[in-house]
């Protein structure tokens, strides 16, 4: 193999490109965002991740290239975003389709074309194959099509790229084996080769499983709240059973994966997805549950002014800077719907103002509020527990152990 061209240098494509390059393979990373390409070429990473800087330096010393242009080569990995359409709950494959076409414009005969972007089950058959075939290209001869969905978790990406097992979906086992070998240049765990539809489906099933498990924890939180029981203690004890592993309740489920992928199954199999739909609705109801807890706490403490309430955390989870579908944004949207404006917001990871009444300085934020709602458990907060002690606290992430703290 000559050069691997990774297309899309976002949260998945960039670390993947760096890992291949670190392992000694010749890598070209392509992105249509010229500013991103420029800063990557000048030594600047667009986001932070444990271990990313180190891998980046190694890749730079192995002469990784960043460009806006597609490379003429025989191996491509497409890791462009697959936005989801909020209203229809369906995936929009436009970026994948456009990247596939750009690859087909330049690629060599017999090229290997791997799609890493998460796609809803059936997308490759429905959209990608016809797109290739309408150009008179024979799949399996002129081009080999594969799907290799990623499994890495933001916050621990580099470790997981190396240690998580992977799935390769291929039409042809021999090509699947070849791609398995390619990924084993950095992946030390088992790499399973299967067909493309099973690879698409298993990816979405993994995220759906987690969504359902979190929904169970959230439902338990509501049950325990209604009858004055400690949900954390109950989950802790239940999880001591060797075959029970309940996840943690929280203010909602965000991110571009777990809160999105289950909808693909609901959209495609509406008559067969009662459990999946209920779980989705349960998790989506959590910001409203937090809102009603806030109202109750305001009443109890005789605080009438919503501007005295502050939400800590805007990201979808701890120690990342990604705000997509975040429970705090969902909560703010619901407050707006109820014409309740003025709640204050702070997140140490978000330095630009993206919502109203957002603070950039923590102390200033704390000084302005009476009720502090902990929406995200950033390490920053865990290191500042002394600063928040004097506030009335609603802790949705079970971080504070001091007396008088309200829980979910």
Give, as one character, the DSSP assignment of residue 22: H
Under the criterion CB under 6 A, does residue 205 sit at the interface with ligand SAJ?
Answer: no
In whole angstroms, how close is the CB of 254 to ligand SAJ at the nearest point? 4
Residue from 90, 129, 151, 197 that binds ligand SAJ (CB under 6 A)?
Answer: 151
Active site residue 224: no
Cβ atoms of 287 and 250 closer than 8 Å = no
Under the criterion CB under 6 A, does residue 150 sit at the interface with ligand SAJ?
Answer: yes
In whole angstroms, how close is the CB of 149 to ligand SAJ at the nearest point? 8
Under the criterion CB under 6 A, does residue 152 sit at the interface with ligand SAJ?
Answer: yes
Under the criterion CB under 6 A, does residue 371 sit at the interface with ligand SAJ?
Answer: no
Residue from 16, 73, 207, 330 that binds ligand SAJ (CB under 6 A)?
Answer: 207
Under the criterion CB under 6 A, does residue 144 sit at the interface with ligand SAJ?
Answer: no
Task: Indicate the residue among 144 and 407 with the shorter CB distance to ligand SAJ.
Answer: 407
Task: Indicate the residue among 92 and 364 with the shorter CB distance to ligand SAJ.
Answer: 92
Give the largest Cα separation in the chain, rounded: 73
Residue from 258, 298, 335, 373 that binds ligand SAJ (CB under 6 A)?
Answer: 258
Write the binding mask 94 to 123 for ligand SAJ: x where contact by CB under 6 A, - elsewhere. Answer: ------------------------x-----
Rounded to whole angstroms, how far apart are CA atoms 213 and 381? Answer: 26
Helices (H), 42-167: 52-61, 94-106, 123, 129-133, 157-163
Q: Kindly identify the residues of this chain, within the stretch 300-339, that bind ligand SAJ according to CB under 6 A.
A: 316-317
Residue from 250, 262, 310, 348 that binds ligand SAJ (CB under 6 A)?
Answer: 250
Main-chain phi, psi angles of 315, to 5 degrees: -80, 170
Residue 64 half-sphere exposure toward CB, CA atoms < 13 A = 32
Residue from 3, 97, 106, 153 that binds ligand SAJ (CB under 6 A)?
Answer: 153
Active site residue 400: no
Rounded to whole angstroms, how far apart are CA atoms 73 and 96? Answer: 18
- From 22, 203, 317, 344, active-site residue: 203
Count of residues engaged in binding ligand SAJ, rule: CB under 6 A: 20
Under the criterion CB under 6 A, does residue 280 sit at the interface with ligand SAJ?
Answer: no
In whole angstroms, how close is the CB of 229 to ligand SAJ at the nearest point? 19
Under the criterion CB under 6 A, does residue 183 sit at the interface with ligand SAJ?
Answer: no
Under the criterion CB under 6 A, does residue 154 sit at the interface with ligand SAJ?
Answer: yes
Q: Are strands 166-170 and 143-147 parallel, antiparallel or unpaired?
A: antiparallel
Rounded to whole angstroms, how far apart are CA atoms 190 and 183? Answer: 10
In whole angstroms, how close is the CB of 118 to ligand SAJ at the nearest point? 6
Residue 206's nearest CA partner among 280, 246, 150 is 150
- From 257, 317, 344, 400, active-site residue: 257
Rounded to whole angstroms, how far apart are CA atoms 252 and 287? Answer: 6
Residue from 96, 214, 224, 394 that binds ligand SAJ (CB under 6 A)?
Answer: 214
| b/e sequence 274-300, b meaning 16+ C-beta within 10 Å | eebbebbebbbebbebbbebbeebbee
Cβ atoms of 264 and 280 closer than 8 Å = no
Sign of CA dihedral 345, 350, 356, 359: positive
- Residue identified by tokens 């909602």 is 252
Binding site for ligand SAJ (CB under 6 A): 118, 150-154, 206-207, 210, 214, 247-248, 250, 253-255, 257-258, 316-317
Which residues does the annotation mark as catalytic? 203, 257
């Amino acid at each position: 193999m000559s050069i691997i061209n990774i297309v899309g240098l976002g949260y998945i494509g960039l670390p993947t490109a760096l890992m291949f390059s670190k392992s000694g393979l010749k890598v070209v990373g392509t992105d249509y965002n010229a500013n991103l390409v420029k800063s990557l070429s000048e030594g600047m990473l667009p986001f932070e991740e444990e271990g990313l800087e180190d891998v980046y330096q190694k890749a730079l010393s192995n002469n990784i290239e960043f460009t806006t242009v597609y490379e003429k080569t025989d191996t491509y990995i497409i890791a462009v975003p697959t936005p989801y359409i909020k209203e229809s709950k369906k995936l929009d494959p436009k970026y994948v389709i456009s990247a596939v076409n750009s690859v087909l414009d330049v690629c060599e005969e017999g090229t290997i074309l791997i799609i890493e972007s998460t796609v809803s089950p059936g997308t490759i058959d429905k959209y990608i194959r016809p797109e290739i075939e309408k150009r008179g290209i024979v799949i399996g001869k002129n081009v080999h099509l594969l799907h290799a969905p990623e499994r890495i978790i933001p916050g621990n990406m580099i470790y997981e790229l190396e240690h998580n097992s992977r799935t390769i979906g291929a039409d042809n086992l021999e090509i699947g084996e070849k791609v398995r070998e390619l990924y084993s240049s950095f992946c030390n765990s088992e790499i399973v080769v299967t067909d493309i539809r099973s690879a698409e489906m298993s990816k979405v099933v993994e995220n759906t499983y987690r969504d359902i498990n979190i929904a169970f924890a959230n439902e338990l939180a509501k049950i325990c709240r209604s009858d004055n029981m400690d949900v954390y203690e109950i989950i802790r004890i239940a999880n001591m059973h060797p075959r029970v592993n309940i996840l943690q309740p929280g203010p909602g489920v965000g991110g571009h994966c777990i809160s999105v992928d289950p909808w693909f199954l609901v959209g495609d199999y509406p008559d067969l997805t009662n459990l999946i739909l209920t779980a989705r609705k349960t998790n989506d109801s959590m910001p409203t549950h937090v809102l009603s807890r806030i109202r109750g706490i305001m009443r109890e403490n005789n605080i009438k002014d919503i501007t005295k309430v502050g939400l800590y955390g805007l990201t979808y989870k701890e120690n990342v800077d990604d705000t997509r579908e975040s429970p705090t944004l969902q909560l703010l949207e619901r407050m707006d719907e109820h014409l309740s404006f003025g709640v204050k917001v702070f997140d140490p990871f978000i330095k630009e103002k993206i919502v109203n009444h957002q603070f950039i300085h923590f102390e200033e934020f704390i000084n302005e509020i009476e009720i502090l709602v902990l929406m995200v458990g950033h390490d920053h907060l865990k290191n500042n527990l002394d600063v928040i002690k004097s506030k009335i606290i609603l802790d949705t992430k079970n971080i504070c152990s001091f007396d008088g703290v309200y829980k979910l």
